[in-house]
A and B are shown apart, each in its own frame.
Chain A
Amino acid sequence: MPAIEVTNFTKHFGKIKAVDGITFTVEQGEVFGFLGPNGAGKTTTIRCMMDFIRPTSGTISLLGKNAHASSVEIKKKIGYLSGYVRLYEKWTGQEHIDFAKKLSGTSDGSNELIERFGFNPTIKTKELSSGNRQKLGLILALMNRPELIIMDEPTNALDPLLQNTVYELLDEAKKHGTTIFMSSHNLNEVDRVCTKVCIIKQGKVVATESINNLKKMRMYSVHAHFGKVVAPETFTNIGAEIIEHRNDFLTMKVKGDIEPIIHALAKLPLRDLKIEHATLEDVFIEYYK
């Protein structure tokens, strides 16, 4: 049984198609990154998973149950962190935790999380910095030791040290078989945490791949310093994309077979040459475009 099963999910807001028939599956124990440029439909999908909004068509199943029909039952097993943590300004962090504890009625690991994040729960939340608000959001999401964690940009506003604490917590959750579904713009984070990603653009899935497969994609960055001025058409005509061109210096991106480029380079007077595999960021940007 997959932990998340999204089938032909569509969400329209009037005439706007926020999500347009996406399908993907997240297996249990997987750490799944949900990526895409702003406005791609990531948050809309997450809101539908959480039953905040309802699909126009299609279905979403979480832990084998319909996300809408069995919403109450499913939420006993879900930890959720929104993209922007909204808090009751007059409550303290502890009041938020106690309220969530009473509503969820399950085991509580909040004290351990408070300690690990170095969070002071006695302060009213209107006095908290954005980083501390995010810490509280994470504590609220993880305190019930959920089977499925759904997070919209989990390390937003956290400093690098705390980001590492979050990664450690997610690693531990992963070891316990917890499924993690997260959206993120931080590609290093995706590379560090996720095992598989789904890239969404303009409401449609453009790729669902394991991180390893994405890294293996044949994309190269070529930096060449020539002994003379070279016309960029020499390379654009054989499929390269020029990133930077300055007199005798050229940086280009090559997708697919690099052999024709190497042949073209060999015919020119080279002073220096660097060919490297594209980074994960380059791969994502390629999909985002």
Chain B
Amino acid sequence: MFSLNITNNMLTIFLRYLKDKWLSLLVYTVASVAMMWMYVGMFPSIAKQSESYAQLAEAFPEAMMKAFGIENFIMDKIENFLAIEHFSMIWPLMLILLSFTFSSNAIAREIEKGTIEHLLCRPVSRLKIFFGKYVAGMTAMLVFVILSIFAIVPLGTLHGISYQFPHFITTAFLGFLFGWAIFSLAMMCSSFFSDKGKVAMTVGGLLIVMYVLNIISGLKENLKNLEYLSFFHYFATADALIKNIIDSQSIWVFIATALACTIIGAWRFSKRDIAV
């Protein structure tokens, strides 16, 4: 009876958190779908000039192409076009922001505002509070990934554009792993800090450093190994979307990061002092 009640408590926290944040999820998802719609709508005219763009791209530095995860600029297929325009920068940025919104508000913001006392003064363990919010954030990310990537199905059909559905499944899987790792990292930071600003500074700072490392690793051969320190190296959406492949190293790095950050975050939240 008691354990059932505690499970219900976690469900209550999960549902309440999703209810509080549904608007953020809706905004990010609609924005992402709208952008994909725009690219899908543009694609027929872009495909006609694919060779001109490829020639133009040859003038770009290799490091810049690497930064966007692009090996070639041939945009004769929708997968290539979306990999370059949508999944190289905008989509991961939206995923990062969504992850940050859900993670920083889950704990750090509640401590900052003092509202966490509503949870702490009730018969709910800290682990249940942490995982109630954690699962809500993961659910939101899953919804975002599924809706924003598989929007290609109705949009492709609407505009009469052929697409490789398995490639989008692979991309969704990689995107979810990437989002999971970042969300877990941000949840861990949220468990350590007592204000949202510090979480933003830490997670944002780490991601910027990773992004820069990924770029400079392409500048010189002796810096190449730095790419292994960057999430953006493992988040190879171009390979997933164009070639339908994911490096197994990427899968393990994201899973290991997510699990390690989740365990540390949950441990820290259950042990720390919360002075509200």
Contact = CB atoms under 8 A, between A and B. Distances in A.
Contacts of B20: 88, 90
Nearest to B273: A53
Chain B: interface size category: 20 to 34
Interface in A34-57: 47, 50-54
A99 interface: yes
A58 B6 CA distance: 29
Contacts of A73: 123
Contacts of B121: 50, 75, 78, 80, 82
Interface in B119-138: 119-125
A82 B117 CA distance: 8
A103 B120 contact: no
Contacts of B220: none
Interface in B33-76: none
A125 to B, nearest CB: 10
B195 to A, nearest CB: 14
B274 interface: yes
State the majority secondary structure of interface residues on B. Answer: helix
Contact of B118 (A47, A71, A88): A88
A104 B123 contact: yes
Contacts of B9: 102-103, 105
Given A47-B275, A73-B123, A104-B123, A99 B114 contact: no
Given A50-B121, A78-B121, A102 B12 contact: yes
B115 interface: yes
Query: Counting chain A CB atoms within 10 Å of each CB, which of B9, B113, B117, B120 scores highest?
Result: B117
A71 B274 CA distance: 14
A54 B272 CA distance: 8
A73 B115 CA distance: 21
A71 B5 CA distance: 15
B122 A88 contact: no
Interface size class of A (residues with CB under 8 A): 20 to 34
B192 to A, nearest CB: 16
A52 B110 CA distance: 13
A50 B274 CA distance: 11
Contacts of A52: 117, 120, 273-276
Contacts of A75: 121-124
Interface in B122-178: 122-125
Given A52-B117, A72-B6, A84-B114, A103 B123 contact: yes
Interface string B242-259: 000000000000000000
Given A47-B275, A86-B276, A103 B115 contact: no
A102 B275 contact: no
A96 interface: yes
A72 B124 CA distance: 6
A230 interface: no
B12 A86 contact: no
A87 interface: yes
Nearest to A82: B117
Contacts of B6: 72
A15 B114 CA distance: 25
Given A47-B275, A53-B274, A102 B117 contact: no
Contacts of A103: 9, 12-13, 119, 122-124
18 contacts: A47-B275, A71-B125, A72-B6, A74-B123, A76-B123, A78-B121, A84-B114, A86-B113, A86-B114, A87-B115, A88-B20, A90-B20, A96-B118, A99-B118, A103-B12, A103-B122, A103-B124, A105-B5
- Nearest 8 CB-CB pairings of A with B: A86-B114, A53-B273, A103-B122, A80-B121, A75-B123, A76-B123, A102-B12, A105-B5
